[in-house]
Amino acid sequence: MRLVVCIDRDDDLGRKAGVSGPVVGRSQVVDAAVGLGTVDPEDSDTNAIFAAVSLLDELRGAGEECEVCILTGSPKVGVLSDRRVADQFDQVLGQVRATSAYLVSDGAEDEYLFPILASRVRVDGVRRVFVRQSASIESTYYTLVRALKDPKLRAKTVLPFALVLLILGVAAAGGVLLWGIIGLSILLGVYLIFWTFDIDEAIIDSVRSASADIRQGSVAFGFGLFAVALVGVGFLNGYNDLTNNSGKLLDASLLFLQAGLIWWVAAAVVWESGRAIRRMFYRGRFPRSFVVATTSIVGIGFVSYGIVFLVRYLEGITPPTQVPLLIGLIATGFGLVIGAGVLQQYFKAVARRNAPESTTSG
């Protein structure tokens, strides 16, 4: 069976039409396209979806057995959105036993995800959809106004500028301009950290994933809940050591990290275990990435623990008798991290060797 795949990498379908991916089946895909086109007639994803349906009808008219699906990503295009597309494609392959796929795209952005499809099934080709428009409409002013109506662009450009004006205005009116600048610096710093590392998207993605796991009775929810509990235990354990220490602030902070690290590492391993088991149910085999991720997590934990010991030793808190332990922790941690990197490159090399045998493009 051949699968016609349309990818909405930035999840316009979910944000605008309230349709969650994956969407499988001709009638469901048409309904999704109509819903998106009704909400935003100018969205190019609508044309791509209808193009996928058109290709499906063309292939079925030629006597081929095929199906169509839509994969949705995330408003913050990046690692998290691509991971969501990969998980949805695994879910679709669990429902439709496809041996090949055809990608329908409305631009180069969606085609960046070609390797995700090609790593799982043979990809027979890519059809890019171009939307014909009147040149007189595409003026600079019109383009700018339409772009600023996009919530993603507003969040990246208008929101920080609005925060600056709001906080400085309130601080100036209250006569505490210096505190306003300090508060603004902290707020923008937190905002940039969240935006740079997609922390807010990670939280939203985790909540959505947990909600789906609850509805589907997935074992991953139990693992996730246990991981959150371990993180809480780590903070509680570190807080107890922090409050019981009457020394310098640096010493107390190091004790907090030392007490919580082992619990946080354990939480990360439990979390990855739940994700790996869920993907195993979707794909029918245990993911090799679990070994790489777990080895990296444990290695980072060893290195972090060793660095805490090193700082305590340099501050004269840790006795010299524990130097061999310090060296052993850091060396073991770096060894595990390097080993995880080597293992990842080995898996990629194996995938590249197998690619010519299982993947063709047209």
Q: Mean pLDDT highest for which of 43-57, 195-209, 312-326, 336-350?
A: 43-57
What pLDDT is stored for residue 216 in this prediction? 64
Query: Is 246 in the same domain as 341?
Result: yes
Indicate the pairing of strand 66-72 with strand 23-24.
Answer: antiparallel
Q: What is the pLDDT of residues 218-255, one digit of tens each?
A: 667 778 888 889 989 988 888 887 777 766 767 777 78
Asked if pLDDT for residue 344 goes beyond 70, the answer is yes
Residue 138 has pLDDT above 50, yes or no: no
| Lowest-confidence pick of 36-40, 188-192, 271-275, 323-327 | 188-192
Picking from 205, 236, 258, the residue at the C-terminal end of a domain is: 205
Say which amino acid occupies 234.
Answer: G
Give per-residue pLDDT as tens, 71-98: 988 877 777 788 888 889 988 988 888 8
> Quick check: pTM over 0.85?
no
Measured CA to CA, the distance from residue 96 to residue 24 in angstroms comes to 9
Please give the average per-residue pLDDT across 130-141, as a whole number: 51
pLDDT band, residue 3 (cuts 50/70/90) = very high
Phi, psi of 145 (to 5 degrees): -65, -45
Instruction: Kindly state whether residue 134 falls inside one of the protein's structural domains.
Output: no
Average pLDDT, the chain: 79
Task: Report which of residues 98 and 163 the model is more confident about.
Answer: 98
To the nearest 10 degrees (0 to 180), the angle between helices 199-216 and 177-196 is: 50
Residues 6+ apart with CB under 8 A from 135: none
Residues 235, 146: one domain? no
The one-letter amino acid at 50: F
Q: Where among 159, 184, 205 does a domain terminate? A: 205
Quickly state the pLDDT bin for 131 (edges 50, 70, 90): low
Cβ–Cβ < 8 Å for 7, 127: no
Determine what percent of the chain is predicted with pLDDT higher than 90. 9
Shared domain check, 197 and 148: yes
CA distance 67 to 72: 17
**Count of CA atoms in the C-beta half-sphere (13 A) of 100:** 17
Domain assignment of residue 212, yes or no: no
**200 shares its domain with 114:** no
- What span, in angstroms and rounded, lies between the C-alpha atoms of 320 and 329? 15
pLDDT, greater one: 189 or 1:
1
Taking residues 190-212, what's their average pLDDT?
67
pLDDT the model gives residue 258: 82
Q: Is residue 157 part of a domain?
A: yes
CB 144 within 8 A of CB 124: no
| Residue 135, domain member (yes or no) | no
- Under the banding of pLDDT at 50, 70 and 90, the label for residue 63 is confident
Q: Prior bond to 22 cis, omega within 30?
A: yes
For residue 347, what are the domain limits?
218-358
Q: Which of 102, 128, 154 is the last residue of a domain?
A: 128
Same-domain check for residues 32 and 104: yes
Give the pLDDT mean for 273-277.
83
What is the percent of the chain where pLDDT is above 70?
A: 80
- Which has the higher per-residue pLDDT, 44 or 361? 44
Greater pLDDT, 253 or 194: 253
- Structural contact between residues 155 and 134, judged by C-beta atoms closer than 8 angstroms: no
- Do 124 and 144 fall into the same domain? no
* 232 shares a domain with 346: yes
The pLDDT value given to residue 29: 92
Q: If you compute the radius of gyration of the chain from its CA atoms, what whole number of angstroms results?
A: 25
Same-domain pairing of 159 and 248: no
| Residue 137 backbone class (left: φ over 0; alpha: ψ -120 to 50; beta: rest) | alpha
| Residues 326 and 299 placed together within one structural domain of the fold | yes
Res 108: pLDDT: 58
Same domain, 24 and 156: no
Same domain, 267 and 167: no
Domains contained in the chain, number: 3
Determine the pLDDT at residue 54.
92
Query: Sorting pLDDT into bands at 50, 70 and 90, what band is 202?
Result: low
Q: Is the predicted pLDDT of residue 154 greater than 50, yes or no?
A: yes
Same-domain status, 277 and 353: yes
Lowest-pLDDT range of 184-193, 195-204, 216-225: 195-204
Distance separating alpha carbons of residues 310 and 307, to the nearest angstrom:
5
Strand boundaries in 73-111, DSSP class E: 100-105
Give me the mean pLDDT over the 37-59 stretch.
88
Residue 322 neighbours by CB under 8 Å, 6+ apart = 309, 313
Nearest to 237 by CA among 258, 254, 216, 210: 258
Question: Given this model, what pLDDT does residue 68 score?
Answer: 93
